[in-house]
Amino acid sequence: MHNPVLALDLRLSSRRGRFFSLRLLYTLWLALLVAVLGCLWCEWPIALPSNWTRSALIEAFFQIFIYQHFLLLIFAVPAFFCGAITEEKEQGTLILLMSTETSSWGVIGGKIISRLLQVMTLALVGLPLFCLVGKYFNLLTWQTVLAFVGLSLAVAFGLGGFSLWQSTRAAETRIAAIRVYFSVSVLTALGITWYHLAVPFLICVFWRHPPICQGLAAFQKALLVFDPVSILEPAWNPTDPEGMRQSLLLCAAFSVTGLVFVIWSALILRRAALETLEAPYPRNALGPRREPVPEDEPICWREHLRRRHWPHWIAAGVLAIAATEAHHQVLHTENHWLLTPIWAAAGALLSLPVIVRAAGCITSERNQRTWESVLSTPFEGWQLVIEKRWGVLRRYSPYFVAFVIPALIVPCFLSWRAMIWALAMLVLWSMVVFYMVSTGVWCSAYSRSSWRSVVATMARGYGFFVAVLTIVALTHLALICMFAPIISFIVTWTGSEEWAEDALLVIGVAGCCYLACRLYQAAETQIWMAQAWIETHERYGRSFTRSLSRALKKVQAQHQGQGTEMAPSVPGHRDADPAPDHLPISPAHQAAP
């Protein structure tokens, strides 16, 4: 190919089996959705509600598919694009790449095309299912498919351009990923808050001024342009040109945004390459004064050390306000089961920065050439990984506290069932974050770069959680089908429906506790694997093996010389180093033949 950067990226991506695993996992998830749709269509093992029809079921399936497709793009695009330039910086090859005949435009163009092909290969796995089910039920036309593919490409290009720009500016992959995920989360939260809370409140305040209310209503309607379902639903009707026009406008907006960031990245790439020759973290004279290093846990202190405190406290305050308002809306409905999507949204939002931070806790040490110094300390491998994990958790503890406090206080005003369900969700939510951090430490231990560690952590963490959650959901469905006649008989006999609510609550709490236990066991397994990898491949695999080989050579020379004097050592030669008197042998080397 004419672009060497594009050819190299495509060749390297074709050799990695991780992309095939991601596509296989997404295919299995789509197969599970089709199986659930078939069971609901056949009304087995449970029947549809009375207010539902089969046409409404198909429309709900398409809405779920569209939302999960674009949610996958939001998760996958930064994971693929944020390491495009920072990986070259971490390996020290960016300055060498810029010294070749390839221009900045060629480097940026090759990177974004190769990563865009990888993301779309993963995201468009569900396109055949989308077309097959839609054509079978006569819901899709060629305009819908064209709008779906075009909007997917535009969103991936726009978000990918922003991620590439952050990758050019940042020094590490995890910093770029945290910035992208944080920006997307803040914009999404602001849009939802403005649409559902701010505009209705302002309309109630200015109800005496019709022009202001009309303007607010028009602006609220304009926000629906960023809803993929509201864009693609009018495209189902080929006689209505409104859907295609909105799709084209949204595609143009995302494409122009991505193009602006791509051009900006190409303009600052050479300057970013020259900055890699300088200190990666310049001293900030206005920065906060560091706290003293504790003697018992210096690794944990180093991991949770923050340069700026005020952005974290501002973000934690916004999160506390949003969590309080969300739980306040649940109070009006008096349905404690609505607490579940709030905890799920908080887990998905807060697990992203935790994953990115944990996935770079060891790879960043290797990139900064400080990992060998950490391994030379008297700390054992188990202490290193444990303190790394607790350091990441302590770094983001303000966010956890800001969400948990209103999430536990507000349900107390609802009912005692809401309190029990909130405590069960707290246990499950804590174990999810605990497992994600442990998975990030394990992936960071064996990965060669931060970008690979982030992708592997997201695939392993979310994949394992979704698999276990699917098994628990199917088990609960089977239990409900088995005990539904008994519960209905008890309700009919006692004349009260509280038995059914209590039975569902007991089943839900038991499922949360079981899932939390499984996640805790899996987290400890991941930490044990990280410790074993560090002890085998990092500490003893590097320094111990070299020292042992030098000692064996010296013993062999003594036996061959039989007491004669050794040859004079050559200054600067590695074999001339004196062998240590005591060589610590790991259990893995003791068991070796």
* Residues 227 and 339 placed together within one structural domain of the fold: no
Residue 581 burial (10 A CB sphere; 0-12, 13-18, 19+): exposed
Assigned domain for 474 exists = yes
DSSP code, position 82: T
Asked if residue 129 lies in contact with residue 32, where contact means CB atoms within 8 angstroms, the answer is no
Asked if residue 169 lies in contact with residue 273, where contact means CB atoms within 8 angstroms, the answer is no
* Residues 105 and 210 placed together within one structural domain of the fold: yes
Residue 323 burial (10 A CB sphere; 0-12, 13-18, 19+): buried
* Residues 381 and 520 placed together within one structural domain of the fold: yes
pLDDT for the residue numbered 281: 44
Assigned domain for 262 exists = yes
Assigned domain for 53 exists = yes
DSSP code, position 224: G
pLDDT for the residue numbered 546: 53
Q: What is the mean pLDDT of each run of 10 residues along the chain (593 residues)?
A: 80 75 84 82 70 79 88 89 87 83 89 91 88 79 84 93 93 85 83 77 80 80 74 58 73 91 92 72 43 64 60 76 78 77 81 83 81 77 85 84 87 84 88 90 85 81 75 70 68 64 80 86 90 79 54 70 48 41 42 40
pLDDT for the residue numbered 474: 72
> Into how many domains does the chain fold?
2
Longest alpha-carbon distance in the chain: 107
* Residues 176 and 236 placed together within one structural domain of the fold: yes
* Residues 262 and 351 placed together within one structural domain of the fold: no
pLDDT for the residue numbered 480: 67
Domain range for 116: 1-7+32-273
DSSP code, position 223: G
* Residues 373 and 476 placed together within one structural domain of the fold: yes
**Tokens standing for residue 130:** 């989308």
* Residues 266 and 340 placed together within one structural domain of the fold: no
Assigned domain for 581 exists = no
What's the CA gap between 115 and 156, in Å, rounded?
A: 10
Asked if residue 357 lies in contact with residue 167, where contact means CB atoms within 8 angstroms, the answer is no
381's CB contacts (< 8 A; 6+ apart) are 531, 532, 534, 535, 538, 539
Assigned domain for 234 exists = yes
